[in-house]
């Protein structure tokens, strides 16, 4: 079977792929039945009339040209392959500003030893986790171990050491900490708006490790300017890899920004694992098995 690949795979994943498929990287794509991709253009799609399966190496599938993908083509994402790395990073993005590590560390370097910055407790406080996939679940469990009153928000109920709600208002009202690990779909685009952020505690920290577009850009900017005590800590930005587009955020004192490094971009080992998981899922499909993370087309087609 011919498989189209449009990015550089780590050597182990490339070798594993070649053990099972004939790998095509360009030229005649007319016999391609499956594609292993990072991004995908309508042009590439048009060249693959026999395409039946698209395996993305990314966890999210929001960047695919859904309107151009025929309904009979199944699309699988790669959620879970980097969940451990992203969950750790999310907790770090939350705790570093929440426990005032950076502020005190900088003070100590300048010889200012005064204990004049209050450090909020997480234990006993309400915390919200938006999205209860593999990332959100790990974060929620860690917050529960630390004694926070965890609320879990997602479309479908999921059990764990949290109180479940499918109301964003209920999840965010009065919370001291929120971690967003929602996928970007037509249902979540622009979901978190100013009025939701305004429900949070005055000195709350909002963390985003999902996709920037789940949160309304202007709403975040407004609350950051209105409430100097509110902290926005995010690894994902609206300009995607064009970070300059969001530079006005990075200049604000109540923003902690990282350049989309929580998962595979920040760690070679995570990237290798993501690639291998994607290849394995593709093999499962080719062998007639049930691949993981098959997307619901209706979540993306507006």
Tokens, residue 286 = 């080719």
Rounded Cα–Cα distance for residues 40 and 235 (Å): 23
By CB under 8 A, is residue 256 in contact with its own copies? yes
Residue 154's Cα: distance from chain center in Å? 14
Residue 60: which residues within 8 A CB-CB, separation 6 or more? 77, 183, 184, 210, 211
Positions in 77-96 near its own copies (CB under 8 A): 84-85, 87-89, 91-93, 95-96
Using the rule CB under 8 A, which residue among 268, 289, 296, 301 binds its own copies?
A: 268
- Smallest distance from the beta carbon of 40 to its own copies, in angstroms? 23
Residues 3-42 within binding reach of its own copies (CB under 8 A):
none
Please select the residue that binds its own copies; options are 67, 70, 72, 115, rule is CB under 8 A.
115
**Measured distance CA(180)–CA(60) in Å, rounded:** 14
Q: Which of 18, 22, 119, 248 binds its own copies (CB under 8 A)?
A: 119
301 near its own copies (CB under 8 A): no
Report the site for its own copies in 125-184 (rule: CB under 8 A): 138, 141-142, 145-147
Closest of 155, 157, 153, 184 to residue 169, by C-alpha: 153
Using the rule CB under 8 A, is 224 a contact of its own copies?
Answer: no
Site for its own copies in 225-244 (CB under 8 A): 243-244
| Closest to 12 in 3D by CA, of 252, 272, 191, 213 | 272
Q: How many helices (H) and strands (E) does the chain have?
A: 10, 12
Q: Does 251 bind its own copies (CB under 8 A)?
A: yes
Which parts of the chain are beta strand (E)? 2-5, 22-24, 32-37, 53-56, 74-76, 126-130, 149-153, 163-165, 177-180, 205-208, 231-234, 255-257
Binding piece for its own copies, criterion CB under 8 A, among 62-70, 214-222, 263-271, 275-283: 263-271
- Contact residues toward its own copies (CB under 8 A) are 84-85, 87-89, 91-93, 95-96, 98-102, 104-105, 107-109, 111, 113-115, 118-124, 138, 141-142, 145-147, 243-244, 247, 250-251, 256-262, 265-270
């Amino acid at each position: 079977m011919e498989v189209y690949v449009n990015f550089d795979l780590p050597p182990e994943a490339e070798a594993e792929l070649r053990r099972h498929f004939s790998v095509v990287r360009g030229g005649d794509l007319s016999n391609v039945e499956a594609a292993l991709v990072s991004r995908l253009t309508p042009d590439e799609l048009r060249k693959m009339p026999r395409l039946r399966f698209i395996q993305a190496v990314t966890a999210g599938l929001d960047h695919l040209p859904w309107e151009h993908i025929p309904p009979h083509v199944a699309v699988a994402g790669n959620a879970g392959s980097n969940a451990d790395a992203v969950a750790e990073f999310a907790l770090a993005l939350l705790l570093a500003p929440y426990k005032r590590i950076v502020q005190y560390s900088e003070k100590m370097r300048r010889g200012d030893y005064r204990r004049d910055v209050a450090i909020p407790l997480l234990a006993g406080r309400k915390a919200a986790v938006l999205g209860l996939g593999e990332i959100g679940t790990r974060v929620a469990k860690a917050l529960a171990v630390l004694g926070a009153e965890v609320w879990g928000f997602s479309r479908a109920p999921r059990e764990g050491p949290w109180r479940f709600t499918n109301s964003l208002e209920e999840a965010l009202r009065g919370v001291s900490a929120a971690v967003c690990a929602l996928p970007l779909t037509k249902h979540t685009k622009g979901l978190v708006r100013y009025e939701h952020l305004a429900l949070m505690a005055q000195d709350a920290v909002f963390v985003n490790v999902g996709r920037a577009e789940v949160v309304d850009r202007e709403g975040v900017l407004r609350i950051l300017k209105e409430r100097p005590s509110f902290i926005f800590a995010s690894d994902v930005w609206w300009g995607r890899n064009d970070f300059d587009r969001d530079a006005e955020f990075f200049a604000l004192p109540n923003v902690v920004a990282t350049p989309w490094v929580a998962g595979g971009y920040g760690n070679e080992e995570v990237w290798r694992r993501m690639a291998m998981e994607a290849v394995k899922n593709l093999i499962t499909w080719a062998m007639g098995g049930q691949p993981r993370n098959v997307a619901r087309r209706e979540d993306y087609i507006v």
